[in-house]
């Protein structure tokens, strides 16, 4: 096992000053195939110095120039899609077709960065100009997750760069090689040394060191709610701006007036994409009693048709879970639901004893207090429940302390508006999957986090506001 994933500090790839490393595991075989270098505190110090030094220069580069570099990086990423997608599949497990879509769709913020508009406020006296300007906030500490190693990391890297910030990003140790290739695209595009620094290592050690560091002005984390709460507290303690994109438990509501066939088709695609390891994946299916039987039968048939296997095999629809602890988590959710009287209509178990394969699973009669209905499953489990009253199902959908994404199916404009207004969720998608584009804000409410990625809101996360009041010399002298 000679291959090693390296860290990238101040424009140079390195195995880390202390020579520490961990294994990288192929989730389809369970076998380690490479190692990943772990940054030491001395490495982090070098990254902090590089991020602070390069920020002073990078913030003065015009947004047009920065946009050109981001476009060049995006072009390189697209040219290299096939090779990077293969890395995503090898280390994360998703089918190659999904990995290709992830990589090819990871071009963010090149245009938005040119729209960091300020404001002119009418003054109370002649000759005075009151300006509101947007400035890059400063060096960023980013923490990205393993479920979309390229498309999650790029939101933080490109957002920071577009705004004029430098970044130290800790990418997931599970999926280092695809993150390395993403960062290489920025370096090859001509982004100056020190502006993007990539580290791996002990997540808690890195976040506890970087977040309080005086050079860091902004924290951006995507991951689980418990970890997000800890990082949010640390950021607050040091008065650092923070974006938290955490988990959810998305309701998927099929109204009496919906087309159940369409809903099943999209429900299966969204539920089992990336083996359910998607923060915005539907995880509670509420189906009006008129369609309940038909919807459930079709959903089970669809789940059983999915081909589960290594993401590299042609025709595979669902790969392994990304790591062995997700297998245990799935088994725990199913056992708890069954103990409380739920019925497993299909799946419910691990497939084979090599790799992290878990069957596409459909359950009914899951009590509302079962763990599966209150904790984010982050895996291929689909509990289906029935409802008869729209207000009642909205209350059930809103009953959890999270609110990231919500989905609804209805043919009525009135119901669509009603649901859109009442669902407590950062994003509501009605009759289709319409979230997660670079130009639209992605983010949650309640314990799903705060702040957005994407759109003008995503850029705003890396900017700070400065107010300048100036009076002309003639007026000042008068």
227, 250, 334, 430: which one contacts ligand NAD (CB under 6 A)? 227
For residue 157, the minimal CB distance to ligand NAD (Å) is 16
Q: Choose among 95, 146, 89: nearest CA to 325.
A: 146
- Return the range that interacts with ligand NAD (CB under 6 A); candidates 2-10, 141-149, 180-188, 302-310: 141-149
- Smallest distance, Å, CB 143 to ligand NAD? 5
Contact with ligand NAD (CB under 6 A) among 145, 348, 383, 454: 145
Which stretch, 3-11, 26-34, 243-251, 282-290, contacts ligand NAD (CB under 6 A)?
243-251
Q: In the complex, what is the shortest distance from the CB of residue 471 to ligand NAD, in angstroms, rounded to a whole number?
A: 47
What number of chain residues touch ligand NAD (CB under 6 A)?
A: 22
Q: Does 204 bind ligand NAD (CB under 6 A)?
A: yes
If one asks whether residue 447 binds ligand NAD (CB under 6 A), the answer comes out as no
Token pair 């079962």 is found at 370
Q: Which stretch binds ligand NAD (CB under 6 A): 122-130, 220-228, 387-395, 462-470?
A: 220-228
Q: Which residues within the stretch 304-333 sit at the binding site for ligand NAD (CB under 6 A)? A: 325
b or e along 114-147 (b: 16 or more beta carbons within 10 Å of the residue's beta carbon)? eebeeeeeeeeeeeeeeeeebebbbbbbbbbbbb
Using the rule CB under 6 A, which residue among 95, 105, 136, 172 binds ligand NAD?
Answer: 172
* Residue 27 sits in the site that holds ligand NAD (CB under 6 A): no
Tracing tokens 């790969």 back to the chain, one arrives at 319
**175, 222, 361, 429: residue in contact with ligand NAD (rule CB under 6 A):** 222
- Only one residue has tokens 């999650």, namely 152
Residue with tokens 């103990």: 339
Q: Does residue 179 interact with ligand NAD by CB under 6 A?
A: no
Query: Out of 157, 161, 165, 246, which residue is the one contacting ligand NAD (CB under 6 A)?
Result: 246
Q: Binding segment for ligand NAD among 227-235, 338-346, 351-359, 414-422 (CB under 6 A)?
A: 227-235
Stretch that binds ligand NAD, among 84-92, 138-146, 175-183, 417-425 (CB under 6 A): 138-146
Binding flag, residue 102, ligand NAD (CB under 6 A): no
Positions marked catalytic = 245, 279
CA-nearest of 162, 59, 182, 46 to 108 is: 162
Q: Is 212 in the site for ligand NAD (CB under 6 A)?
A: no
**Of 247, 251, 309, 348, which one interacts with ligand NAD (CB under 6 A)?**
247
CB of 344 to ligand NAD, least distance (A): 21
Which one, 172 or 319, has the nearer CB to ligand NAD? 172
Which is nearer to ligand NAD, 166 or 222 (by Cβ)? 222
Is position 245 an interface residue for ligand NAD (rule: CB under 6 A)?
yes
Q: Are strands 449-450 and 241-245 parallel, antiparallel or unpaired?
A: antiparallel
105 binds ligand NAD, rule: CB under 6 A: no
* Contacts of ligand NAD in 258-287 (CB under 6 A): 279
d(CA 49, CA 444): 33
SS3 assignment for the chain: CCCEECEEECCEEECCCCCCEEEEEECCCCEEEEEEECCCHHHHHHHHHHHHHHHHHHCCCCHHHHHHHHHHHHHHHHHCHHHHHHHHHHHHCCCHHHHHHHHHCCCCCCCHHHHCCCEEECCCCCCEEEEEEEEECCCEEEECCCCCHHHHHHHHHHHHHHHCCCEEEECCCCCHHHHHHHHHHHHHHCCCCCCEEEECCCHHHHHHHHCCCCCCCEEEEECCHHHHHHHHHHHHHCCCEEEEECCCCEEEEECCCCCHHHHHHHHHHHHHHHHHCCCCCEEEEEEECCCHHHHHHHHHHHHHHCCECCCCCCCCCECCCCCHHHHHHHHHHHHHHHHCCCEEEECCCECCCCCCCECCEEEECCCCCCHHHHCCCCCCEEEEEEECCHHHHHHHHCCCCEECEEEEECCCHHHHHHHHHHCCCCEEEECCCCCCCCCCCECCEECCEECCECHHHHHHCCEEEEEEEEECHHHHHC
DSSP-derived pairing of the beta strands 445-446 and 402-403? antiparallel
Minimum CB–partner distance for residue 414 and ligand NAD (Å):
33
**Closer residue to ligand NAD in complex, CB, 187/372:** 372
Of 36 and 52, which CB lies nearer to ligand NAD in the complex structure? Answer: 36
Our CB check for ligand NAD shows the closer of 329 and 359 to be 329
Nearer to ligand NAD, 285 or 378 (CB): 378
Query: Is residue 299 at the binding interface for ligand NAD, with CB under 6 A as the rule?
Result: no
Q: Residues 354 to 383: which contact ligand NAD by CB under 6 A?
A: 376, 378
Min. distance of Cβ 211 from ligand NAD in angstroms?
Answer: 9
The contact set with ligand NAD (CB under 6 A) reads 143, 145-147, 172, 203-204, 207, 222-224, 226-227, 230-231, 245-247, 279, 325, 376, 378
């Amino acid at each position: 096992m000679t291959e090693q994933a390296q860290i990238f500090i101040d424009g140079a790839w390195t195995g880390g000053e202390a020579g520490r490393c961990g294994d990288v595991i192929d989730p389809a075989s369970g076998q380690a195939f490479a190692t990943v270098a772990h940054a030491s505190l001395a490495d982090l110090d070098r990254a902090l110095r590089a991020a602070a030094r390069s920020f002073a220069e990078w913030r003065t580069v015009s947004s047009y120039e920065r946009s050109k570099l981001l476009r060049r990086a995006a072009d390189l990423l697209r040219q290299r899609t096939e090779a990077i997608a293969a890395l995503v599949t090898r280390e994360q497990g998703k089918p190659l077709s999904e990995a290709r879509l992830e990589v090819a769709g990871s071009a963010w913020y090149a245009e938005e960065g040119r729209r960091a508009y300020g404001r002119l406020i009418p003054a109370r006296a002649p000759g005075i100009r009151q300006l509101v300007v947007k400035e890059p906030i400063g060096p960023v500490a980013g923490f990205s997750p393993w479920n979309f190693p390229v498309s999650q990391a790029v939101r933080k890297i490109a957002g920071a760069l577009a705004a004029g910030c430098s970044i130290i990003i800790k990418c997931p140790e599970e999926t280092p090689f695809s993150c390395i290739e993403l960062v290489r695209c920025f370096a090859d595009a001509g982004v100056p040394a020190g502006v993007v620094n990539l580290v791996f290592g002990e997540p808690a050690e890195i976040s506890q060191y970087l977040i309080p560091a005086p050079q860091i002005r902004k924290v951006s984390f995507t991951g689980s709610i418990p970890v997000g709460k800890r990082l949010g507290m640390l950021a607050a303690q040091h008065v650092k701006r923070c974006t938290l994109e955490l988990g959810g438990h998305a309701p998927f509501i099929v109204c009496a007036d919906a087309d159940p066939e369409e809903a099943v088709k999209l429900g299966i695609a969204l539920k089992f994409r990336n083996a359910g390891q998607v923060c915005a994946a539907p995880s509670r299916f509420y189906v009006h009693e008129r369609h309940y039987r038909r919807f459930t039968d079709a959903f089970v048939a669809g789940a059983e048709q999915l081909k589960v296997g290594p993401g590299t095999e042609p025709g595979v629809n669902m790969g392994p879970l990304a790591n062995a602890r997700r297998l245990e988590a799935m088994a725990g959710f199913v056992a708890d639901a069954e103990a409380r009287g739920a019925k497993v209509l299909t799946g419910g178990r691990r497939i084979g004893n090599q790799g992290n394969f878990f069957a596409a699973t459909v359950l009914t009669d899951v009590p509302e207090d079962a763990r599966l209905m209150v904790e984010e499953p982050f895996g291929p489990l689909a509990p289906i429940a029935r409802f008869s009253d729209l207000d009642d199902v909205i209350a059930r959908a809103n009953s959890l302390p999270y609110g990231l994404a919500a989905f609804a199916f209805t043919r009525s404009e009135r119901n669509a508006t009603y649901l859109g207004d009442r669902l407590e969720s950062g994003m509501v998608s009605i009759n289709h999957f319409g979230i997660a584009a670079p130009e639209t804000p992605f983010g949650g409410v309640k314990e799903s986090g705060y702040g957005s990625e994407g759109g003008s809101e995503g850029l705003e996360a890396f900017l700070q506001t400065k107010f300048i009041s100036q009076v002309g010399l003639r007026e000042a002298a008068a």
